[in-house]
Amino acid sequence: MARTLLCEIVTPERIVYTNEVEMVIAPTLDGEIGVLPLHAPLVTVLRAGELRVRYNDNKDVEWFAISGGYLQVHEDKVIVLADAAEHSSRVDVERARRAKEFAEQRMAEMKDKPLAEREGIDECEADLKWCEIQLQVAERRS
């Protein structure tokens, strides 16, 4: 059996995932990072995107949507502190589609306004990105 590390994905509301895995692939600001057992200690910022965990001799993969946060690596443990995270099987596709359409409408309305009146555009862009990531990750389960 391959060496493993404990992976925990945590949000402010709950523990999303805890399991022994063989590899964690996470989206950082500089690109994806792969973490294996005995990795050097590390703390890095995560961007919104897909996070994957591999186990069962790297044959099985689980996908998660994360909205950004931090990754902390120890010798035998990876902790993902995410603003929001969802397992691919738990994504409500219809709800995410509706939320994406709503965010797109809000963005279109804001872009028609003068710059001084575009309050909340950053939050709207983040909401839109989160919906897109959830839909992308949900496709992985089908």
Q: Buried b vs exposed e over 103-132: b needs ≥16 C-beta within 10 Å? A: beebeeeeeeeeeeeeeeeeebebbbbbbb
Question: What does the pLDDT look like over 41-99, one tens digit per residue?
Answer: 999 999 999 999 999 887 899 999 999 999 999 989 999 999 999 999 999 999 999 99
Query: Measured between alpha carbons, how far is 17 from 70 in angstroms, rounded to an integer?
Result: 15
Query: Measured between alpha carbons, how far is 57 from 31 in angstroms, rounded to an integer?
Result: 24
- Of 44, 61, 52, nearest to 26 by C-alpha is 52
SS3 90: helix
Q: What per-residue confidence (pLDDT) applies to 2? A: 74
Q: What is the pTM of this model?
A: 0.86
The predicted model gives 4-31 an average pLDDT of 96
